[in-house]
Structure formats: structure tokens, C-alpha cells
Amino acid sequence: MTSEFLFWLALPFKMAVTAAFVVAATTTAERAGALIGALVATLPIAAGPAYVFLALDHDVAFIATSALSSLAINAATAVFALVYAFAAQRHGVLLAVATALTAWTILAVVVRWFDWTLPGALVLNVAVISACAAIGRHLRDVRMPLVTRRWYDVPLRAAMTALLVAVVVSLSGRVGPAVTGVLAVFPIVMTSLMVILQLRIGGKASAAVLVNTITGLAGFSTCLVTLHLAAVPLGTPVALTLALAVSIAANLLIFAARRSGFPL
């Protein structure tokens, strides 16, 4: 398969899968609360398809290296969520999302300056995610307001997400492998959640969902660690399956810990 063929094959799949999960995550947040919605959103629902299609065109060493790059960038995504949560308290959706995306872009560039090892990327994630979770803790416990559903809600959410995915994936096809690990974890799902939820339930409630995703990013980091460590010795199909299983298990543990009152 050529790279161009894989790109066009992957694009509609990524658009459809990501849109479906964003609809599920926003609906879950509205019905079940910010925590559950956030944990759904931090499963590898955008990065997963990206890595599946990367695996069709690259060897296991490439996948392992990209996963390590993604792990380092995951710390920037925690800051991204925190910046949005604070901006959404006072500003409308456009300014709040733009501020968060600007912060993520700057941090992603800074992270790319360094050659990361697994211990270094892990320390970065632990430090940044812990700090962001502590700083934003007072914003996360907000009751989700009741929302009157309209017939066009689900198609609109799916269309918004699919459009965003199309833009990002199209760019990724032109920048080459050097930044593949960064683009694979571009916060498509979280950005879509910001736009959709703030327009529907307001800044404070949508901020609560995004602050809860910070803890969920700890679970996502375990997914990337698993992929990095397992890709070379076990092969990409097994590594991707294990990474998904670990991500789900980690988020279930986070949910159980939060429900039992553990201060995550």
C-alpha cells in the first residue's frame, strides 16, 4: 500500500470513529456527570485509529518511538485542559478554546526540543498531571445542567468533530514522520468536547469535564507506555491491543478510586 492510499483510507475511518466517540462522551457527560464523560474522552479514541494506520506503513521501531514522543506530549495536554478550564470561567468558547490550543502548541514545540527517554517522559507526566489536577481540583465538581435535546444535536456534534479530524489529519499527511508522535495525540476529542459542551451547558460545567480529563490523562499515559514497551518485542497488533486494555483498566481504577473518596 502506498502512503497516499493509506491516508485516504484512514481519513473517513478516523472521522467516523472519533465523531462517534465524541458524541458518546458528550452524551455521557450530560447524563452521567463530568467524571464519567471525561474518562470516556481520555480513552485512545483518536490516537488509537491513528496508530493502527501508522502500523500499516511503518515498522515496530517507528511505532515505539512515536509512542514515546506521544507520551511526552501527553503532559502538554494536561496543561491544555487546565488552561481551558480557567479560561472558560470568564470567556466565551472561541477565546477559551483558542487560549488552550495556543498553550498546547507552544508546549508541544518546547517538548519537541528534547530527546526523551522513557524515565524522563514518565517523570514529566507524573509531575505535570499531578500539578494540574491539584490546581484545577476546585473546578471539577459541578453538576451537569439539564439539557433539552433537539433533533439536530447528534448530527451537529458528529459533523463538527469530523470536520476537525479532517483538518488535523490532512495536515499530518504533509509534515512527515518527525512530528508523527505529536500529531497522533493532538487533542481532537478534547477540543471537540470544549466546543460542543460550552455551547450547550456553559463554561463552568464544560470546564468541570475538562478538569476531570486531567486525571484520565494519567490512564492514557499508561496506554502509551504499554505501546512503547510492547511494540518491538510483541509486534504492533498485540501491542495496540494491550495498550487499549491497559487504558480501559486504568480509567476503571481511576473511577473506582474517585468514587471511594481517594483524592485523585
Q: Cβ(125)–Cβ(74) under 8 Å?
A: yes
| Residue whose C-alpha is closest to residue 21's, from 234, 263, 196 | 196
| Residue whose C-alpha is closest to residue 7's, from 239, 174, 181 | 174
Instruction: Provide CB contacts within 8 A for 171, sequence distance 6+.
Output: 183
- pTM for this prediction: 0.83
Under DSSP, is residue 160 helix (H, G, I), strand (E, B) or coil? Answer: helix
| pLDDT one-digit tens code per residue, 94-145 | 999 999 999 999 999 998 888 889 999 999 999 999 999 999 988 877 776 6
Instruction: Provide CB contacts within 8 A for 77, sequence distance 6+.
Output: 104, 185, 187, 190, 217
Cell of 155: 448530527
Cell of 50: 491513528
Q: Using a pLDDT cut of 90, give the percent of the chain over it.
A: 33
pLDDT above 90 for 12? no
| Residue whose C-alpha is closest to residue 236's, from 14, 63, 67 | 63
Report pLDDT for 50. 73
Which is higher by pLDDT, 90 or 22? 90
| pLDDT one-digit tens code per residue, 160-206 | 667 766 765 666 556 554 466 777 778 877 887 788 788 878 888 88
Over residues 20-24, mean pLDDT:
70
**Cβ neighbourhood burial of 259 (10 Å; 0-12, 13-18, 19+):** exposed
| Residue whose C-alpha is closest to residue 186's, from 90, 26, 66, 34 | 66
Sign of the alpha-carbon torsion through 10, 179, 130, 30 = negative
